[in-house]
Amino acid sequence: MRLLAVVGPTATGKTPLAVAVAERLGAAELLNADSRQVIRGLHVATCAPTPAELRGVACHLLALHDPGEPFSVAGWLDAARAVLSDLRDGGVQPILVGGTGLYVSALVDGLDLARVPADPARRAERSAVAATAEGLAQLAAELSARDPDAAESVDLRNPRRVIRALEILDARGAPLRNARGRSQATPATLIGLDAPRELHEALIERRSRGMLETGALVEEVHSALGRGVTRGALESAGIGYREALAVLDGTVTTEQAAALVAQRTRRYAKAQRTWFRRDRRIRWLQRGEGPLEPLVDEVLDALREDARAGQ
């Protein structure tokens, strides 16, 4: 059974659209392709779908690891392939939904990511260096010097990904692309969901304010700290947690934190859009201010067209 993937920038409504498609199909379930939503116990700023939002549609690959626990793309890929196999065996339509481009590419294009084990001592050293902006810039410069093409596949602003890329180079040598073999690709219909700029910015602002003004995010962070989750693990869990910690510290107001979350989210959405726009297989849909249900027919038409063509 052909995979359907709904991808694109954050805060465009990918999950509601995927749920509406699943409801129309009947026997369909979702697979999460968001690298933040795989974190266990953190729901608010990761925007993990709630039971009410899923409306009874099953969503797999959520809450796979604890905050701060190492988790690789290869780990997600193993889990995704297992779920995909089970769904197909049961005659259930799989719908991949999320905005983490590397996850989507790993599954759809058959990437077999380098399974290089971490060097705990070296990782600790690099993590200490990456704790400051200057240190991260130093590591990013090292990565770029060793592999000039690395910036095309690695977010040089993400300490975890920069450190992991350096580990792979240590073990396999440059370039990084040679450390990624290929396994069998997964035939897929790729749907991209986006929104006009003004609407998208309004959606981001609304979501950012909702996280902070309701108190839900600060409460979640306070609870996580009480469970022993470290500040570092929270900050690396996604946009919003650093700002919520600052609210708890009293260094910013709720209003200021919401503005910072919106600003960072806009930058992240821009990077996601750049990633996905490079893939010419993606059929792009533009949402409006209203419900997403009118787009369902277009998604299903694309899926059926590809199935008939055997693409």
* Domain range annotation of the chain: 3-113+182-309, 120-179
Residue 288: its pLDDT value, please? Answer: 96
- For the chain, first and last CA: distance in Å? 12
> Is the pTM here over 0.75, yes or no?
yes
Range 3-113+182-309 classified under CATH 3.40.605.10: no
Residue 98: its pLDDT value, please? Answer: 97
How many CB atoms lie under 10 A from the CB of residue 37? 24
CA distances 242 to 141, 247, 270, Å, are 25, 9, 20
Mean pLDDT of 197-216: 97
Residue 179: its pLDDT value, please? Answer: 65
Element at 206 (helix H, strand E) = helix 197-213
Name 288's Cβ contacts closer than 8 Å, sequence gap at least 6. Answer: 195, 199
Residue 264: its pLDDT value, please? Answer: 96
SS3 19: helix
Mean pLDDT of 195-224: 98
| Residue 121, burial from CB neighbour count under 10 angstroms (0-12, 13-18, 19+) | exposed
Residue 114: its pLDDT value, please? Answer: 59
For the chain, give the percent of residues with pLDDT over 90: 70
Instruction: Inform me whether the pLDDT recorded for 199 exceeds 70.
Output: yes
